[in-house]
Amino acid sequence: MIFEAARRYTVVGGKSVPVRDRGDLGSQQVALLPPGTTIVCVEVAEPSVAAAAVSATPNIRISAPAGWISTDALIDAPHRRSLALSWQEFEANHLRIAAGDQYNLIFPFSHEMLQSMGAEFLTEAFRAAGTLDPDNCVETLCNYKILDAGGASTSAAFDVVYRKALPGLHTQLFVKMPAADPMRKFISSHMLYGETQIAMRFAGLAMPTPVSQYYFGDYCRETSNGILVTERIGFGEAPIEPVLPKGLDQLLPDAAERYAVLTSLQARLVAFHKRGELGFDTEDIFPFRAKITGMPAVKIDPLIDFIEDKVGHLLPAKYQHPSFLSQLRRDGERILDSLDMLSGYIGRDVDYTGFCHANLNLDNAWFWRTPTGSLQAGLIDWGSAGQMSLGQSFQGMLFASEPSKFLALRQALVSHFVAEYKDASGVTLDGEKLLLHAKIASITGLPLLVFAIGDALGRYTKADLRGISNTNDPRLSTDPGLGTMLSMLGIFLEEWFDTQTPTAICERILREMENGEAH
């Protein structure tokens, strides 16, 4: 059997396999993997290392728990069954009431169902999840307020009254369920599955980052329905600050400080995963390089037209010059033709991947300051979290930041991540390589940008867009989607004013792959 980097393998046989901090016989054991554990190979040992290994077979270095193992108990990991239903399967099943995969309970998946099933369901669910003692119950569900903002799911805030009001039991709760719109629900169903799995897992771990307390969550693969109930974060209730708007960083005097705090938490989370502390079954639930249905093919023309004809007055003059737009058209077509190559490049270097929050915008965290003024944060909205390129995690965090400060901010945060990750894991990453991966992740976001533009054009006429006077226009505050789209556009265009242009990046990667230098 030939072992390769960036491939998944499974431990077989009747014995556990030790993970060692080095590939030699006298190295320290850092973990013991039970049979059935799936791992990801980072590299295969050189012959000189293999000769001194615990067994006569080669050793490989694995991603999590980070270390070395012998290959004599490994086979190729079985193909992971996709969560995604076909549209026909989804249409036939998504309104069917069925039990969840985790607790085997019938659960609600709409606001009407939850309010109807009420306190009786919550009592049974919380007891099943171990968040409510068997001799306690939810007596009342009240003050139900739907918070749906048109995203990937629908949510609500509500209050409960317990028979026994005990310390640590929150009375103000938050629920997330599938979107009511069938197409939104179909496209985003995998996100709710991941979020319920993450919440259940976090509940039993000493996490390196604050997260909202879990009360109940479940998902049914046969129907694509799910539900997640957690404590409700008291945004605006001292010391917790009000929720921050997405895509309006120009209104914040301390945005860079906030991103630095989130970057620190992301680095600690990745290190936590690399130490194996998320659990030995993490690879089965959140697989390395998991395939998610990609965006349909797009063209660059709508982007060029949008800049020239509709929002040019909101953009710096350098973006509107005919020579720049011609270059943007040429380079954009090349990016679209190279998407598989670019995403494959940053996904294959396993040392630069890890378990990340996928969307650490400022509105997906809650912030507070200690009495000494130190800024702290906790993380919410874990949809799409999982193993990914670390560069991709920077793109997910910064795509709605202030375009004029984006390049300098990203450079500073990459350096900050390298330092924080070394403190948390003892591993030193190459900052230049991580920055390159972040740049690649940024330009491969082009299809998402084109779709965001299409969404804006579906809601606003040319006259509407022309009527927005500047980036401080109140309409951007009342429609976060529009402000976010303009931030995404400005950030994407800024890549042409960085030290490495998108064209130079594409040429570099193609050259490395042709020469066999790419990981």
The predicted structure's pLDDT at residue 18: 93
Mean pLDDT of 418-433: 97
Residue 137 pLDDT more than 70?
A: yes
Q: Are 381 and 426 contained in the same domain?
A: yes
- How many domains, the chain? 3
Region of 130 please: left (phi>0), alpha (psi -120 to 50) or beta: left
Domain annotation covers residue 81: no
Residue 375 pLDDT more than 90?
A: yes
Distances, alpha carbon 49 to alpha carbons 60, 73, 494, in Å: 10, 18, 45
Cα distance between residue 313 and residue 256, in whole Å: 27
Q: State the pTM of this model.
A: 0.92
Around Cβ 408, how many Cβ atoms within 10 Å?
Answer: 10
Domain annotation covers residue 107: yes
The predicted structure's pLDDT at residue 291: 46
Q: Are 347 and 389 contained in the same domain?
A: yes
Which is nearest to 305 in space by CA: 444, 453, 183?
Answer: 453
Query: CATH number for the domain including 225?
Result: 3.30.200.20
pLDDT tens-digit profile of 283-322? 988 888 754 444 567 899 999 999 999 998 889 999 989 9
Q: Are 71 and 112 contained in the same domain?
A: no
Q: Are 322 and 174 contained in the same domain?
A: no
Q: Are 257 and 354 contained in the same domain?
A: yes
Contacts of residue 233, defined as CB under 8 A and 6 or more positions apart, other chains included, come to: 174, 212, 240, 366, 378, 380
Contacts of residue 64, defined as CB under 8 A and 6 or more positions apart, other chains included, come to: 39, 40, 273, 274, 275, 276, 278, 282, 283, 354, 355
The predicted structure's pLDDT at residue 290: 56
The predicted structure's pLDDT at residue 518: 60
pLDDT tens-digit profile of 237-271? 999 999 988 888 888 999 999 999 999 999 999 99
Mean pLDDT of 47-67: 70
Confidence of residue 481 (pLDDT cuts 50, 70, 90): confident
Cα distance between residue 267 and residue 275, in whole Å: 12
Domain annotation covers residue 519: no
**Of 300 and 53, which is predicted with more confidence?**
300
Q: Are 91 and 68 contained in the same domain?
A: no
Domain boundary among 231, 257, 280: 231
Percent of the chain exceeding pLDDT 70 equals: 95
Q: Are 67 and 93 contained in the same domain?
A: no
Domain boundary among 49, 76, 103: 76
pLDDT tens-digit profile of 187-237? 888 889 989 999 999 998 999 999 999 999 999 999 999 999 999 999 999
Residue 56 pLDDT more than 60?
A: no
Q: Are 144 and 27 contained in the same domain?
A: no
Domain annotation covers residue 243: no
On average, the pLDDT of the chain sits at 90
Cα distance between residue 383 and residue 367, in whole Å: 20
**Of 149 and 423, which is predicted with more confidence?**
423
The predicted structure's pLDDT at residue 289: 74
Domain annotation covers residue 82: no
Which is nearest to 175 in space by CA: 123, 220, 120, 114?
Answer: 114
Query: CATH number for the domain including 13?
Result: 2.30.30.40
Domain annotation covers residue 238: no
Q: Are 391 and 486 contained in the same domain?
A: yes
Query: CATH number for the domain including 439?
Result: 3.90.1200
Q: Are 211 and 261 contained in the same domain?
A: no
**What angle in degrees, to the nearest 10, is found between the helix axes of 431-443 and 502-514?**
110
Confidence of residue 88 (pLDDT cuts 50, 70, 90): very high
Residue-range definition of the domain harbouring residue 408? 249-288+296-514
Q: Are 91 and 67 contained in the same domain?
A: no
pLDDT tens-digit profile of 400-410? 999 999 999 99
pLDDT tens-digit profile of 12-32? 988 899 999 887 766 899 999
The predicted structure's pLDDT at residue 149: 61
Percent of the chain exceeding pLDDT 90 equals: 69
Instruction: Please report which helix (H) or strand (E) contains residue 94, including its range.
Output: none
**Of 440 and 484, which is predicted with more confidence?**
440
pLDDT tens-digit profile of 118-134? 999 999 999 999 999 99
Domain annotation covers residue 199: yes
Mean pLDDT of 442-456: 91
The predicted structure's pLDDT at residue 51: 47
The predicted structure's pLDDT at residue 25: 62
pLDDT tens-digit profile of 321-360? 999 999 999 999 999 999 989 988 998 899 999 999 999 9
Q: Are 226 and 358 contained in the same domain?
A: no
The predicted structure's pLDDT at residue 54: 46
Domain boundary among 55, 76, 97: 76
Which is nearest to 272 in space by CA: 485, 166, 423?
Answer: 423
Residue 428 pLDDT more than 90?
A: yes
The predicted structure's pLDDT at residue 53: 46
Domain annotation covers residue 1: no
